[in-house]
């Protein structure tokens, strides 16, 4: 499939780390991310489907786009036991498999750090979310501490993306969401570490409205 993005080692590692992250607080973050959603939803880079158990019953359909084959297979298993109807689809952030203004909400969770072109991914979300619809986001972002941010930028410019399935530590995702034409309505900021040996990163969790 041409839209597959293969990161076999990262995919298996992420599947393990995500189990630890859920116990350390990510499950609660995901529940808050999706609380109160309704209608038709698109989820970008759904990974192994850790959001799926948290979709409320008011959601009528989820299109869960995932380009990595191993994670997509795990997501398909998770979709089969999800409380709402979830279709796991092959696709990439640069070209979402949905019509213009065809969904009520878009979900970006720990994914805008990994896409090759954040502005383009957000432009695609803006295209497919209907006017007045929501973008829900849960992302790790660049530190507010200047020295830490400098280290993050240095890692992003060298080895880190290659080791982490193209993850980046130093993106200012809140600013990118605003630049893409969304109006931020809520945005919590907190430190979170997904596993005992990993240092905590700044995270944002919130809602933006598509103008």
Ligand X SMILES: C[S@@+](CC[C@H](N)C(=O)[O-])C[C@H]1O[C@@H](n2cnc3c(N)ncnc32)[C@H](O)[C@@H]1O
Based on the shown chain and the rule CB under 6 A, indicate whether residue 109 belongs to the binding site for ligand X. yes
Shortest distance, position 40 Cβ to ligand X, whole Å: 18
Sign of the Cα torsion 139, 87, 12, 68 reads negative
Based on the shown chain and the rule CB under 6 A, indicate whether residue 173 belongs to the binding site for ligand X. no
Rounded Cα–Cα distance for residues 140 and 79 (Å): 25
Residue selected from 5, 103, 129, 180 as contacting ligand X according to rule CB under 6 A: 5
Rounded Cα–Cα distance for residues 95 and 93 (Å): 5
Based on the shown chain and the rule CB under 6 A, indicate whether residue 47 belongs to the binding site for ligand X. yes
Q: Give the residue closest to ligand X by C-beta.
A: 47
Contact partners, residue 14, CB within 8 Å, separation at least 6: 47, 48, 71, 165
Residue selected from 37, 42, 74, 93 as contacting ligand X according to rule CB under 6 A: 93
Q: Which stretch binds ligand X (CB under 6 A): 78-86, 113-121, 122-130, 190-198?
A: 113-121
Based on the shown chain and the rule CB under 6 A, indicate whether residue 86 belongs to the binding site for ligand X. no
Shortest distance, position 205 Cβ to ligand X, whole Å: 12
Q: Which is nearer to ligand X, 51 or 143 (CB)?
A: 51
C-alpha 142, offset from chain centre: 16
Shortest distance, position 166 Cβ to ligand X, whole Å: 6
Shortest distance, position 146 Cβ to ligand X, whole Å: 26
Q: Which stretch binds ligand X (CB under 6 A): 59-67, 145-153, 186-194, 200-208?
A: 59-67
Q: Which is nearer to ligand X, 28 or 150 (CB)?
A: 28
Calculate ∠ Cα 101-102-105, nearest 5°. 85
Shortest distance, position 185 Cβ to ligand X, whole Å: 21
In the complex, which residues of this chain contact ligand X (CB under 6 A)? 5, 14, 18, 44-47, 50-51, 65-68, 71, 92-93, 109-111, 114-116, 165-166
């Amino acid at each position: 499939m041409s839209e597959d993005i293969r990161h076999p080692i990262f995919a298996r590692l992420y599947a393990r780390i995500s189990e630890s992250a859920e116990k350390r607080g990510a499950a609660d973050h995901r529940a808050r991310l999706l609380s109160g959603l309704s209608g038709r939803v698109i989820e970008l880079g759904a990974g192994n489907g850790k959001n799926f158990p948290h979709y409320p019953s008011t959601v009528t359909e989820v299109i869960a786009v995932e380009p990595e084959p191993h994670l997509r297979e795990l997501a398909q298993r998770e979709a089969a036991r999800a409380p709402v109807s979830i279709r796991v689809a092959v696709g990439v952030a640069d070209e979402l498999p949905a019509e213009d203004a065809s969904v009520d909400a878009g979900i970006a969770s720990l994914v805008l750090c990994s896409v090759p072109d954040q502005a383009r991914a957000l432009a695609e979300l803006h295209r497919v979310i209907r006017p007045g619809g929501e973008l829900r986001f849960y992302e790790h972002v660049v530190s507010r501490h200047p020295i830490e941010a400098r280290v993050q930028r240095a890692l992003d410019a060298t080895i880190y993306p290659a080791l982490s399935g193209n993850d980046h530590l130093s993106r200012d995702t809140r600013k990118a969401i605003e630049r893409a034409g969304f109006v931020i309505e809520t945005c919590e900021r907190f430190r979170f570490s997904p596993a005992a040996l990993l240092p905590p990163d700044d995270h944002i969790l919130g809602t933006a409205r598509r103008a």
